[in-house]
Amino acid sequence: MSTLFTNGHLAARFRRSPAAAGYQFNSWSGLLATWRIWEQRARQRAGLRDIADDPHLLSDLGLTRDEALAQANEPFWR
């Protein structure tokens, strides 16, 4: 029985391929990265909505009130 597990070519049959093992990790990390980007966009757009009535802060950004509100009202996934 110990020869089953010490034999290299037989033990390799039971391992996952490197591509299959990396696929799950990459899909989860990609999903997490997308979620972080969406969260960041939602926060930035909420911040734009908050400062839309302050002309001084908008001028620092180089935006008009209408431009700030238009960008703040876009969905976070775009």
34-50: pLDDT as tens digits = 999 999 999 999 999 99
Cβ neighbours, 10 Å, residue 64: 13
Provide the 8-state DSSP code for 59. Answer: H
Domain ranges of the chain: 2-72
CB contact burial 25-57 (16+ within 10 A = b; e otherwise): eeeeeeeeeeeeeeeeeeeebeebeebbeeeee
Confidence of residue 73 (pLDDT cuts 50, 70, 90): very high
Task: Please state the rounded mean pLDDT for residues 50-75.
Answer: 92
Task: Please state the rounded mean pLDDT for residues 17-42.
Answer: 79
